[in-house]
């Protein structure tokens, strides 16, 4: 089973593709100045190429200067996944951090250190968050629970 973890952003969208609990590829889709069309096309191609069963997305921040672009990116992602008939799960930042790192208020550096301890080498925080989101879903699937919203 393939799953894609996504750290949403209009300018920088982190992604991680897992197949049978193994990381296949990860990275960041970098677009121009709030380029929704470019993001739509590149994200659609990523999903078309990998044919995931599940996409796991980080939910919106509340009371943040990044909230609106973040929400717009989430809406775009959900539009693409719905059109492609792919199940989508959303985890609030504090939820996936609590599940994966045992601390809902963990700092970004803690997530990167956790990934490093598992042998993952990440180039950006967006990529790290995407990998963490996918690992959260995989952990919950293994434990047969799911706190992500569908």
pLDDT at 71: 87
pLDDT at 32: 78
Tell me the sheet residues that pair with 5: 16, 56
- pLDDT, one tens digit per residue, over 105-142 is 999 999 999 999 999 999 999 999 999 999 999 999 88
pLDDT at 49: 97
pLDDT at 141: 87
pLDDT at 144: 66
C-alpha–C-alpha distance, residues 56 and 69, integer Å: 18
Share of the chain above pLDDT 70, in %: 90
Predicted structure pTM score: 0.91
Domains of the chain (ranges, CATH numbers): 2-143 (3.30.420.10)
* Helix pair angle (108-117, 93-101), 10° resolution: 40
pLDDT value at 79 more than 70: yes
Higher pLDDT: 144 or 56? It is 56
């Amino acid at each position: 089973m393939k799953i894609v973890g996504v750290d949403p952003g209009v300018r920088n969208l982190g992604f991680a593709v897992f197949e049978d609990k193994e990381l296949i590829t990860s990275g960041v889709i970098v677009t121009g100045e709030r380029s929704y069309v470019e993001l739509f096309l590149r994200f659609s191609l990523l999903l078309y190429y990998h044919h995931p069963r599940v996409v796991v997305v980080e939910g919106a921040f509340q009371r943040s200067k990044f909230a609106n672009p973040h929400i717009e990116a989430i809406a775009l992602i959900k539009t693409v996944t719905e059109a492609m008939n792919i199940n989508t799960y959303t985890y609030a930042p504090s939820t996936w951090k609590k599940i994966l790192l045992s601390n809902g208020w963990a700092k970004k550096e803690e997530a990167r250190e956790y990934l490093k301890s598992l042998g993952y080498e990440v180039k950006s925080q967006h990529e790290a968050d995407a990998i963490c989101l996918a690992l959260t879903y995989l952990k919950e699937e293994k434990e047969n629970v799911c706190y992500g919203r569908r």
